[in-house]
């Protein structure tokens, strides 16, 4: 098993397309709410990041499942994959139920203390109240995603994401603005529409898997009892990826809380930048995810460290090749992109400096995130957790000093992304260059 540039691309591009399409949910919510008002725009950023922090708990667990599935795929032990999948499903359904009921406490005890504007708090609470229903659908959908990436059969991700995004656009248009006889629900309509789109996504995965996948080969849907010993093996990997995943959106939540204290205009700018930033980072996320799966597959098939390192380098080069042309286009025509999110020319002009700083951050974040996911792919997720923890700690100090104490402009505050990407790159590179990670799970 070797991964050439072409093979890496064939695995990564469906993930890239699916991520871009799935990100359209955030773009749709942000763009539609930008035409409702700045309060709703800012509130959706805060509540959306908080929801993402909850979602990332499940996503982080699925990354651990993905690593194990990829390892078994590389070892050609296909019959063990179905058991891993089902134990993951039991845990994720239980986690979704717990987090669903905790959302009320989160809204009351966290949002109320962190948001200074009563209008923003009311809108954010309304969004989270309806958005939490999507947890049950999204948690199982990401388990299917982990399965397909783990076995390097990623084409179905594209089809699923197209169905999901089209559903979200239709639901949002109807529910936010009150079309076809429905009441205009505003920010609550955005939350309901996104949750319904996640349900459609899950139904698509179930139908596709039953019709197209060799369920006997992978022993899918054959184990309907919880097995503690098998779950422990998954937990030993996934507990660390869960912690990593919750830390990632937590940094954004802290950032937005800090920016909110600068005013509603800086918060609106930061929300627009987050949406654009995530869109451009889809290439990084796609190749990072691919790298994690490839490294685990390569280790499972007994490949040498030099071949794994070569695969990482190729993934980084492809990340630059795909991302940089779009960054250049955005730098040349920034107002065209910003006008998707707002009709206010004053807001567009105010956002320009932040946008240029955001675009440059890609150059550090691309290799940083690819190598970081390679560390996770080795199976040493406790080490990747340490790398993330050090990085986040430095990031938090920087944000607190620059925003909370010095109260710099939102554009200067965005340089915190340089700190984040640079630290991930340095620490992950040092670990992968060491000789102590080439081990089996």
Q: What is the pLDDT of residues 4-43, one digit of tens each?
A: 888 888 888 888 887 777 667 767 777 777 667 667 676 7
**Averaged pLDDT, 133-147:** 92
Residues 6+ apart with CB under 8 A from 12: 154, 286, 287, 289, 290, 315, 318
**Averaged pLDDT, 398-422:** 87
Residue 280 within a domain: yes
pLDDT at 35: 65
Share above pLDDT 70 across residues of the chain, in percent, rounded to a whole number: 94
Query: Roughly what angle, to the nearest 10 degrees, separates helices 155-177 and 135-150?
Result: 160
Residue 441 within a domain: no
Residue 440 within a domain: no
pLDDT at 182: 84
Q: Any idea which of 76-90, 214-228, 244-258 has the lowest mean pLDDT? A: 244-258
Q: Any idea which of 80-89, 149-158, 259-268, 395-404 has the lowest mean pLDDT? A: 259-268
Q: Any idea which of 226-240, 296-310, 316-330, 351-365 has the lowest mean pLDDT? A: 296-310
Kindly report, residue by residue over 275-286, the tens digit of the pLDDT: 788 777 888 988
pLDDT at 258: 82
Residue 76 within a domain: yes
Gap between the Cα atoms of 89 and 139, Å rounded? 8
Range of the domain at 198: 5-433
**Averaged pLDDT, 50-64:** 84
Residue 438 within a domain: no
**Averaged pLDDT, 174-178:** 85
Residue predicted with more confidence, 264 or 14:
14
Among residues 287, 268, 410, which one has the least CA distance to residue 347? 268
**Averaged pLDDT, 151-176:** 87
Residue 143 has pLDDT above 90, yes or no: yes
Residues 6+ apart with CB under 8 A from 22: 161, 164, 165
Residue 440 has pLDDT above 60, yes or no: no
Share above pLDDT 90 across residues of the chain, in percent, rounded to a whole number: 20
Mean pLDDT estimate for the chain: 84
Q: Total structural domains in the chain?
A: 1
pLDDT at 435: 64
pLDDT band at 410 (very low <50, low <70, confident <90, very high): confident
**Averaged pLDDT, 344-355:** 85
First vs last C-alpha separation in the chain: 18
Residue 234 within a domain: yes
What is the pTM (predicted TM-score) of this model? 0.78
Kindly report, residue by residue over 287-337, the tens digit of the pLDDT: 998 898 888 888 877 777 778 888 899 999 999 998 899 889 988 988 888
Tokens representing residue 283 in the block:
């290439």
Residue 185 within a domain: yes
Give 78's DSSP letter.
Answer: G
Residue 262 has pLDDT above 60, yes or no: yes
pLDDT at 247: 76
pLDDT at 94: 93
Residue 439 within a domain: no
pLDDT at 152: 83
Residue 93 has pLDDT above 60, yes or no: yes
């Amino acid at each position: 098993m070797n991964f050439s540039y072409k093979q890496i691309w064939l695995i990564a591009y469906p993930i890239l397309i699916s991520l871009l399409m799935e990100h359209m949910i955030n773009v749709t919510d942000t763009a539609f709410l930008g035409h409702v008002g700045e309060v709703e725009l800012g509130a959706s950023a805060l509540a959306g990041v908080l929801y993402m922090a909850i979602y990332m708990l499940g996503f982080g667990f699925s990354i651990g499942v993905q690593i194990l599935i990829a390892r078994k795929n590389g070892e050609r032990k296909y019959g063990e994959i179905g058991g891993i999948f089902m134990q993951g499903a039991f845990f994720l359904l239980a986690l979704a139920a717990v987090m669903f009921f905790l959302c009320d406490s989160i809204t009351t005890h966290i949002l109320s203390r962190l948001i200074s504007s009563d209008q923003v708090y009311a809108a954010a609470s309304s969004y989270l109240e309806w958005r939490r229903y999507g947890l049950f659908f999204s948690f199982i959908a990401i388990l299917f995603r982990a399965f397909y990436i783990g076995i390097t059969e990623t084409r179905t991700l594209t089809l699923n994401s197209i169905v999901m995004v089209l559903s979200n656009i239709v639901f949002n248009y109807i529910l936010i603005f009150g079309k076809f006889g429905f009441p205009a629900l505003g920010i609550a309509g955005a939350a309901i529409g996104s949750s319904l789109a996640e349900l459609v996504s899950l139904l698509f995965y179930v139908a596709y898997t039953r019709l197209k996948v060799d369920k006997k080969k992978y022993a899918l849907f054959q184990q309907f009892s919880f097995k503690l010993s098998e779950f422990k093996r998954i937990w030993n990997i996934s507990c660390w990826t869960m912690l990593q995943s919750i830390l990632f959106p937590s940094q954004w939540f802290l950032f937005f809380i800090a920016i909110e204290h600068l005013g509603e205009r800086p918060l609106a700018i930061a929300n627009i930048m987050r949406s654009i930033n995530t869109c451009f980072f889809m290439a990084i996320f796609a190749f990072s995810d691919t790298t994690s799966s490839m490294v685990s597959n390569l280790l499972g098939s007994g490949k040498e460290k030099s071949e794994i390192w070569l695969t990482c380098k190729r993934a980084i080069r492809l990340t630059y090749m795909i991302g940089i042309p779009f960054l250049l286009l955005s730098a040349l025509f920034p107002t065209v992109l910003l006008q998707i999110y707002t009709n206010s020319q004053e807001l567009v002009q105010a956002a320009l400096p932040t946008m240029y700083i955001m675009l440059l951050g890609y150059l550090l974040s691309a290799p940083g995130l690819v190598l970081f996911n390679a560390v996770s792919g080795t199976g040493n997720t406790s080490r990747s957790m340490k790398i993330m923890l050090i990085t986040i700690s430095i990031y938090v100090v920087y944000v607190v000093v620059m925003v909370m104490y010095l109260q710099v402009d939102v554009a200067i505050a965005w340089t915190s992304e340089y700190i984040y990407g640079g630290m991930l790159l340095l620490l992950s590179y040092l670990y992968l260059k060491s000789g102590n990670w080439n081990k089996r799970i």
